[in-house]
Amino acid sequence: MSGQSQVMTSAGYLPQKPRYANLYVTLGSNQYLENHGMSEDLRETALNVYTAIFERRDSVEVDGATYLIKKTSKSKLRSVEIDGLTFIEQNPNKESRWAQLAKEGHQIIWVMRGRQYIARVMDGRFLDLGRG
């Protein structure tokens, strides 16, 4: 069931229909979100996940559903998949400006759709990368 969101229910973990399923259109996720009044939902979700990751929680609740926060196999970065989006903390062991900031103590997560970065939360501040 790789790549599909799961929701904890009384019956166990079940697949969840992506809340952001309509992101997969030619406009691109950020423009679509903005055009349909959903960027605030993404902002709230990203900030909620950010808090859970940096408070080292095991799970995060979004719209009444509970999602497990997992660690990546190689780098042991905390991440969670919600509705086709990946929320993942910055790897401080990379050679980038963002890694350097993470090494300095800044708390950074990225919101990704596939391999595309669509938003960032750094030190509690959300930035939609489609709008700068």
Look up the pTM and report it. Answer: 0.71
Per-residue pLDDT reduced to its tens digit, 64-93: 899 999 999 999 999 999 989 999 999 999
CA pseudo-torsion sign 21, 22, 23, 24: positive
- Confidence check: pLDDT of 19 > 70: no
* Cβ contacts of 91-94, under 8 Å, gap ≥ 24: none
pLDDT tens per residue across span 29-49: 445 455 444 456 899 999 999
Is the pLDDT higher at 94 or at 19?
94
